Structure 1
Amino acid sequence: VPAKGLCVAACNQKQPCSQSAPFSAQINCAAVDEAHRSQYDFLAAFMRASLPNAKFIAFTGTPLLQEDKHTLGEFGGGEYIDEYRLHEAVADGATLPIKYQDAWVALSANADLDAAFKKQFADQSEVRQHELKRELLRRWRQAGDRMEQVAEHLVEHFLSSVKACCR
């Protein structure tokens, strides 16, 4: 309702609403839903350029905490206005509790692998060798054979635990 000074728009559509004065001449408040998804690339730059005087309030269930994408930092830092924790949502009946069962699918490697690694990368510093090992382990965990083992484990668990209890 522009006559009352309120404009509601879905900014991902990039269609300006009609207003009596340019946004830049007004004090604006922008409420951003799913802020962890939209506030780091083109859309964020577009919104901030369109609303240079705006104060932004973010709503997100999963704030990002990375160096290059930090939701709280993107919205002025400081403290959260409010937090609605999972245990509160469960108590309110808004969601079900998360049931988590830790399970391991063993990584198996040739016994000579470590020796071969040391020989191959002997000219690298210890720090660099550690970085390389971490990257290789990450890739190994995601390799096709490994993923097949994990998938088999999940199917077995589903059939023996989940499906069996729901008959």
Structure 2
Amino acid sequence: MKRKQTLTHLDAAGHPAMVDVSGKAVTARQALAECRVRFPADVAAQLRKSGLRSAKGGIVDTAIIAGTLAVKRTHELIPFCHPLLIDGVRIAIDWRGERELRIECAVKTSHRTGVEMEALTGATVAALTVYDMCKALSHAIVLGPAKLAGKRGGKRDFGSAG
């Protein structure tokens, strides 16, 4: 039997509300999100030649640090996210093809609520950091798509959580 899907961040009167998770069990939760960064061909070639270094420093290392910080601060950015103790963050950045970077963010916690928003925030902030560090080369850099690749824990699992 298929259950009816409803928006969870609205109260009975239709007003915005944080979900009450106090009745849920604490379980292991993990999520995996990704975001792509696509460069013009000449910019990609220049970045490959430089080993992904810019005048501002190591692009990948800086993006990993920014994404990790973003994961830990997601509740400060997204109004109805619960503050979570994060057990682990892994951010991987690799070339996919000649012109595209794939940024993957995996997040783990043990809590009453999942870490999908944290993983998405980490991946997208890492992508924004790459853009910031490379924008002097071109403003034609394209971010996205950003997507949830998977989650484990809670009521239902989805995709591949890494």
TM-score, normalization: structure 2? 0.20
- Whose helix fraction is larger, Structure 1's or Structure 2's? 1
- Whose strand fraction is larger, Structure 1's or Structure 2's? 2
**More contact order relative to length (CA 8 Å, sep ≥ 6):** 2
Computing the radius of gyration over CA atoms, which structure comes out larger, 1 or 2? 1
